[in-house]
């Protein structure tokens, strides 16, 4: 599975869009990009995933660059409850394995 | 409500004792997973099971054992051979074998061994 790199932390103002970047420069053609988040002391929560096309659901949007070497998770209107660690993961799905790195800590300020 | 339950939420044991962590799901998912999380770190995969009566080692299986006798249950035993067992343990499940299916996580068990 390709390695992903994320900044350690970022913050944004409540009500504004939060754009969380992720680099996956070694991603292969059959590897998906997944985003999960973990609120303090809870289990991670799935947010979204994609392969090539941009994706949107009720939680967020995922923008994948054309060369697939990077992606951005967008929370359109961040709230204080979005403060969490966000994990960007890439994987093929082989053996159901996903590798979670340290993620990026998003702090939403009032 | 469908979901994954882990019990207990907090667990304390003396060094040298084996301890079993419970994980149950009523989502009818085929695959189940155990992860370990240390403070400030990401999740590391201990064991996973894609089908009943079958399981595979993850990245840090040493000192742990699992069983998958029922689709709904995937208990994890932390044995005395695990050198640093104190950690936050998370169980997850997914619909199918491929990782294109999102994983649903339980609330976790925080194990402290002294």
Judge whether A92 is closer than 8 Å to chain B, CB to CB: yes
Instruction: Spell out the per-residue pLDDT of chain A, length 110, in tens.
Output: 568 999 999 999 999 999 999 999 888 888 889 999 999 889 999 999 999 989 999 999 999 999 999 999 999 999 999 999 999 998 876 655 678 888 999 999 99
Which of B48, B100, B104 is opposite residue A93, by nearest beta carbon?
Answer: B100
What pLDDT, in 10s, does the model give residues B29-73? 999 999 999 988 889 999 999 999 999 999 999 999 999 999 999
B42 to A100: CB separation less than 8 angstroms, yes or no: yes
User: Running DSSP on this structure, what letter comes out for residue B70?
Assistant: B
Query: CA nearest A1: which of A86, A102, A60, A88?
Result: A88
How many other CB atoms are found less than 10 A from the CB of residue B98?
A: 16
Q: For residue A24, give both structure tokens.
A: 């996956």
What pLDDT, in 10s, does the model give residues B62-97? 999 999 999 999 999 999 989 999 999 999 999 876
| Residue spans of alpha helices (H) in B1-114 | none
Which of A41, A43, A96 is opposite residue B48, by nearest beta carbon?
Answer: A96
Which H helix or E strand runs over B112? strand B109-113
């Amino acid at each position: 599975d390709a390695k992903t790199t994320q900044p350690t932390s970022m913050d944004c103002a409540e009500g504004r869009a939060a754009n969380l970047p992720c680099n996956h420069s070694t991603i292969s053609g059959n590897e998906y990009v997944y985003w999960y988040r973990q609120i303090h002391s809870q289990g991670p929560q799935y947010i979204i995933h994609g392969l090539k096309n941009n994706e949107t659901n009720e939680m967020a949007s995922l923008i994948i660059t054309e060369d697939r070497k990077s992606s951005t998770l967008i929370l359109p209107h961040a709230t204080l409850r979005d403060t969490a660690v966000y994990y960007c993961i890439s994987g093929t799905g082989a053996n159901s394995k996903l590798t979670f790195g340290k993620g990026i800590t998003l702090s939403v300020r009032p | 409500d469908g979901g994954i339950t882990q019990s207990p939420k907090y667990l304390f044991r003396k060094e040298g004792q084996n301890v079993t962590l419970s994980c149950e799901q009523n989502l009818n998912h085929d695959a189940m997973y155990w992860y370990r999380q240390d403070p400030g770190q990401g999740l590391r995969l201990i064991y996973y099971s894609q089908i009943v009566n079958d399981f595979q080692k993850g990245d840090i299986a040493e000192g742990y054992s699992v069983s998958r006798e029922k689709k709904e249950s995937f208990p994890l035993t932390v044995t005395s051979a695990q050198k640093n067992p104190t950690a936050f343990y998370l169980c997850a499940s997914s619909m199918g074998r491929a990782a294109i299916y999102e994983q649903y996580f339980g609330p976790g068990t925080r194990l402290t061994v002294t």
